[in-house]
Amino acid sequence: MSTLSTAPFTAGVDYRDNPRQHAIYQLRNTPTRHYPFEHIVLNDVFPADYYQDLIDNLPADDAYTAAENGKYPERGRLMLSTHEQDGSQDDLANLPDNAREFWTHFRDHVINQNFWGALVEAFAPTLTSRFLDTCWLQSFLSRDRGGYAISPHTDTSKKLISVLFYLPTSEAVLDCGTSIVVSNQPKHNTFNVPHSGNWDGFDIAHTVPFAPNSMLGFLVSDTSLHAVKPTPPGTARDTIQFNVMMPE
């Protein structure tokens, strides 16, 4: 059984750039891609020294839990956020003091409303004032072990925006990124497309490289088809995922 990370962290550490402001800077100065749906790809999302702290504070395998429904057994998840609308609770108590302090600070001070407000504005400026005070954030760490895959799907209509921060330690797993998918079949262009495992009628337009310190974010719609091809044995696909959720 592996042990949990014990990397030291001080919340008041003086990084080269402020991590949240650095990420907002990258976000606001990166153009949105519009085909086949609105999405954005960021590189160098965080300052290099902060990214190294993200890597150093990743929990070990035994801190993650599998989905209760038994789907995707290769995926483990550790909740960072908690929200009354879906009854979620964070899993930060499972971490030792240093890691718990780091990820609590990340949740509360880095991916707070300032960051995801900028993200909403990047996709649809008119939505900011309408949704910022009523949407809520779901965030978690995710670890996909070798063999993980997910077939083309659009995501649930309960999401406004989906985001994946990629956290590899090297460029050896560049092919493990999320694929942007297109289909000319109307039945595929709808919210809540089931994860059937079927690729018939789907084409990959682009696979976003699983590069260190990069991010994919997209506006969820009835055409936001995306997928992950099976990852190689022995690999680990670490991400921070968060979803800007629609109000009930």
Task: Give the DSSP letter string of the chain.
Answer: -PPPP-----TT---SS-HHHHHHHHHHTSPPB-SSS-EEEEES-S-HHHHHHHHHTPPPGGG-B--TT---TTEEEEE---BTTTTB---GGGS-HHHHHHHHHIIIIISSHHHHHHHHHHH-GGGHHHHTTT-EEEEEEEEEETT--EEEE---TTEEEEEEEE--SSSTTGGGSPEEEEES-GGGSSTT----S--TTEEEEEE----TTEEEEEE--TT--EEEPPPPTT-EEEEEEEEEEPP-
Q: Is a pLDDT exceeding 60 seen at residue 5?
A: no
Q: Is a pLDDT exceeding 50 seen at residue 228?
A: yes
Of residues 11 and 56, more confidence is placed in 56
**pLDDT value at residue 1:** 31
* The domain defined by 19-245 carries CATH number 3.30.43.10: no
Q: Is a pLDDT exceeding 60 seen at residue 2?
A: no
The domains of the chain are located at 19-245
